[in-house]
Amino acid sequence: MNKLTPADLFSLEQYAVQRSDFRRSAMAHKLRRKVHLGGHLTLFFEDRQTMHYQIQEILRVERIFEPEDIAEELAAYNALIPDGSNWKATLMLQYPNVDERRLRLQALVGIAERVYVEVTDRVYAIADEDLERDTEEKTSSVHFLRFEFSDEQSQAIQQGAEVRIGVDHPQMNHQTLLTAEQQKVLACDLAD
């Protein structure tokens, strides 16, 4: 997939004018790329459009306009755009109750490495390549995952083979079948 460049971005002034429509489009796009794993884990499969929105929001909130600062944001978020042989996702562990969240994050150390995509066989996530998000005491509520597929698996996904996404951590075991729409959307992230 094509990575974002400074030329792809709106200036702060342009974004202020277009933000409402751009945000509405981005949210609808993100919704089609969202997969729930049980009641507390959500995967947001990233792509060029989701990262474009994320970068624009960061530039807006932090009032970033210097070229070197924009380049830093592009470098960080371009890493989350699929490369044609993989899917990249943000994993969110969501527990609204603070006490429950603290306990669950302690119990779920190592969970990011136990998330998988199953098509022909299981592909476990390569997690948190940018920095370690687990300690011995707890895990983070946000992780960044990459699922690297063989050519055979990519072709199977593109041809409509059944795709399941799951987690098999000792403290959490859940699997879900992608809907036809989710699979169609995510298959676009893979090169022909």
Whether 50 maps to a domain, the answer reads yes
Residue 192 predicted with pLDDT over 70:
no
80 close to 43: Cβ distance less than 8 angstroms: no
Whether 57 maps to a domain, the answer reads yes
Strands in 126-127's sheet, in edge-to-edge order, are 34-37, 41-46, 86-93, 142-148, 126-127
Q: How confident is the model at residue 129 (pLDDT cuts 50, 70, 90)?
A: confident
Whether 121 maps to a domain, the answer reads yes
Mean pLDDT over 90-103 rounds to 95
For residue 79, the enclosing domain spans 6-187
- Cα→Cα distances 21→16, 48, 69, Å: 10, 17, 25
Of 58-67, 122-131, 161-170, 171-180, the one with minimum mean pLDDT is 122-131
Hey, CA dihedral for 163, 83, 191, 33, is it positive or negative? positive
Q: Which of 101, 78, 97, 94 minimizes the C-alpha distance to 39?
A: 94
Of 125-129, 139-143, 185-189, the one with minimum mean pLDDT is 125-129
Whether 166 maps to a domain, the answer reads yes
Hey, CA dihedral for 192, 87, 159, 117, is it positive or negative? positive
Helix pair 151-158, 180-187: axis angle to 10 deg: 130
Whether 86 maps to a domain, the answer reads yes
The per-residue pLDDT for range 153-164, each reduced to its tens digit, is 999 999 999 999
What's the length of the chain?
A: 192
Whether 1 maps to a domain, the answer reads no
**What's the predicted TM-score (pTM) here?**
0.91
CB atoms within 10 A of CB 89: 26
Mean pLDDT over 48-64 rounds to 96
Whether 192 maps to a domain, the answer reads no
Whether 33 maps to a domain, the answer reads yes
Mean pLDDT of the chain: 94
The per-residue pLDDT for range 58-93, each reduced to its tens digit, is 999 999 999 999 999 999 999 999 999 999 999 999
| pLDDT of amino acid 52 | 97
CA distance 182 to 34: 8
End-to-end Cα separation, the chain, in angstroms: 12
- Tally of domains within the chain: 1
CA distance 90 to 55: 15
Give per-residue burial for 162-172: e unless 16+ CB within 10 Å, then b. Answer: ebebbbebeeb
